[in-house]
Amino acid sequence: MNAAEMDIARRLNGMPVSPGIAVGEAHIIERGMPDAPEYCVTEAYLEDERLRFLRAIDQSRQQLDHVHAHLKESAEKDQDAHQYKQELVYILDAHRLILEDAMFQKGVLGHISEHRCNAEWAVKRYLGEVIAVFQNMEDAYLREKRRDIEQIGQRILHNLMGNRYNAFAAFPNPVILVAEDFTPADTLLMDHEAVLGFVTEAGGSTSHTAILARALGIPAVVAVPHVTEQVRSGDRIVLDGISGTLHLSPDDEEQAGFDARRKQYHASRAALLEIGGAGVETPDGRRVGLKANIDFQADVVRAAELGVDGIGLFRTENLYMNRSRLPSEEELVELFTNLVETMEGKPVTIRTLDIGGDKQSEIFLQRLSHNPSNPALGLRGLRLCLKSERAAFFTQLRAILRAGAGGDVQIMFPMVTRLAELKEALLLLDEAKKSLRLEEVPFVDNPQVGIMIEVPSAALCADQLAPYADFFSIGANDLTQFTLAVDRGDESVAELYSPVDPSVLRLIRMTIQAGDMHHTPIAVCGEMAGDPRYAVLLMGLGIDELSVTPERLPLIRKTICGVEYRQAVDLARTAMEMVSAEEITDHLDRFLKAAFGSAHRLY
């Protein structure tokens, strides 16, 4: 291996889902039962083993009591994660109950006597039998509950062996958590103040980990292949949530470099947040709408404070994930009304349910009649809503219409692939209005209704869709993935993924041309809009509006205000003549560097 190859080996790439840089010790969250000594003991020591087991139970219970108290206290303080934490208090109660369960204790004690073995072995044997029962359960949801048994087993075993069991407890030092995937229970039973960042093998930008990390303002990188095999607990690692890279065993010099970068990130973030103020216009007078993409209610307040033209994308998937039942219409109305009121008259675009693909919900998953062989191309987004989840979709439509009585709401349908789908969705919307009218419930009669352009078929037929849509919003992530046939979570092809590939740009240009012809405004709401290089290019192509995550707002505002529109148009024209994503990226980099200096991309 030469030096360059060594360097690559010490770096792992994934998908950045929450920005920031973390430098610290890795801590692996394990799956299954830990290794434990297994041996037989003589009759004389059996009583010792029984007592050891009962002491471990006692110790485990005290630990859970401690976390319980901590959680209850923090749930009251932290509104955003309140729902999760409430859910966790229930899980904790169940874990405590299992520890105290007479059948469980009798089972383990019985194994000690019967097999004359040490307590660890007895716990593993007994819980192994229990887990086997769970694994054979028919119901997928119940089968998953073996995780609860595993977590209890891990805790008892670690207590027996005198190890510090960190999975739920306070960490002695702040750590970067690494796991195959985090369940809500994994992430939320931890002391958040001691978590520097998250790294997972699984997941997408809307995974539980991603959402939680963003809510907590902690950097996270997901979809890092085999990371749990390559990192060990205690390793010093660097997590770069901006580029999506994980650096293993950085030397002192590198670490100092990252420390500096981290400080710079925080400083530039603080400086950008101070810019604020509404009105985004290029120096030569072209106005570009700047809106916020929102996952969490708390983000809305932040976006409103930062001054935006509205919410360009409110994702509703989170309302259906990590919970056991569908939200009721009243619940949705309350939430949407709250959004609309917080924005004080500015438009709020609510996207209807976009479940499926990489965003799964336990509720919908178990209602599917079959396992999709390729979820990205399966029953998802609007298709799912029109086919098997019409009732949930109808409820959403009614809730959005009702919230519209109190402010400016817009409705956006995701994953539209053909005109017939849009027409069918519009018919359902009419039905929803009719039902509300009959019930004499106040609602907005004529909201703007638009669609996501995120599938090549929609971009190619944008001119046919435009007469039926009040606006287009280009979802660049999916559009890129489908156009290039690249899953960016797959490391073997991830480098082929680029939203500025000539093919993707042509589809974007087609959409803009179709929109212009029918006077349909066009927004871009994917991650692409939040990258200053791409933002300038999109502006030059004629996009009317950019919608970005709140963190990106100040940076994109600064970018738009700092580039002349005619320069952007020139830039786009040259870019459209280029033949590769690399060439175009270089071109954009050079432009931005000339306009703002090299520090601009750092954020």
- Catalytic residue list: 208, 525
* Per-residue DSSP letter, 40: B
d(CA 98, CA 250) in angstroms, rounded, equals: 43
Q: By CB under 8 A, is residue 369 in contact with another protein?
A: no
**Least Å distance between CB 451 and another protein?**
30
CB of 90 to another protein, least distance (A): 5
Task: Give the other-Cβ count within 10 Å of 564's Cβ.
Answer: 14
Interaction of residue 79 with another protein, rule CB under 8 A: no
Angle among Cα 288, 294, 298 to the nearest 5 degrees reads 125
Site string for another protein, 148-187 (x = CB under 8 A): x---------------------------------------
**One residue of 6, 40, 51, 142 binding another protein per CB under 8 A:** 142
| CB-CB contact of 333 with 399 (8 Å) | yes
SS3 letters for 543-599? CCEEEECHHHHHHHHHHHHHCCHHHHHHHHHHHHHCCCHHHHHHHHHHHHHHHHCHH
β-bridge mates for residue 25, sequence order: 175, 236
Count of residues of this chain found to bind another protein when the rule CB under 8 A is applied: 28
Q: Which is nearer to another protein, 384 or 584 (CB)?
A: 384
d(CA 390, CA 403): 20
CB of 322 to another protein, least distance (A): 10
**Tokens coding 239:** 């997590």
Work out whether 130 is an interface residue with another protein (CB under 8 A).
yes
Choices 80-88, 246-254, 267-275, 499-507 (CB under 8 A): range interacting with another protein:
80-88
Report residue 298: phi and psi, to 5°.
-60, -30
List Cα–Cα distances, 315 to 80, 205, 321, 340, 576, in angstroms: 16, 12, 12, 14, 31
Minimum CB–partner distance for residue 144 and another protein (Å):
9
Stretch that binds another protein, among 90-98, 292-300, 467-475, 567-575 (CB under 8 A): 90-98
Shortest separation between residue 99's beta carbon and another protein, angstroms: 10
Does 138 bind another protein (CB under 8 A)? Our answer is yes
145 binds another protein (CB under 8 A): yes
Examine residue 83 and tell whether it contacts another protein (CB under 8 A): yes
- Choice between 337 and 549, CB closer to another protein: 337
CA–CA distance, 33 with 153 (Å, rounded to integer):
7
Q: Using the minimum distance from each CB to another protein, give the nearer residue, 142 or 420.
A: 142
Residues 91-120 within binding reach of another protein (CB under 8 A): 91, 93-94, 97-98, 101-104
Among 5, 43, 139, 440, binds another protein (CB under 8 A): 139
- Do the strands 522-524 and 472-474 form a parallel or antiparallel pair, or are they unpaired? parallel
Asked if residue 429 binds another protein (CB under 8 A), the reply is no
Q: Is 8 in the site for another protein (CB under 8 A)?
A: no
Write the DSSP symbol of residue 3.
Answer: H
> What phi, psi does 305 have (nearest 5°)?
-65, -35
- Is residue 203 within 8 Å of residue 222, measured between CB atoms? yes
d(CA 100, CA 102): 6
Give the x/- contact pattern for another protein in 339-368, rule: CB under 8 A.
------------------------x-----
Interface region with another protein, contact rule CB under 8 A, candidates 129-137, 412-420, 457-465, 485-493? 129-137
Parallel/antiparallel/unpaired status of strands 311-314 and 448-453: unpaired
Q: Which two tokens stand for residue 19?
A: 């920005």
x/- mask, another protein, residues 308-327, rule CB under 8 A, reads ---------------xxx--
Smallest gap from Cβ 566 to another protein, in A, equals 51
Strands 220-222 and 15-18 come out as antiparallel
Residues within the interface to another protein (CB under 8 A) = 83, 86-87, 90-91, 93-94, 97-98, 101-104, 130, 133-134, 137-139, 141-142, 145, 148, 323-325, 331, 363
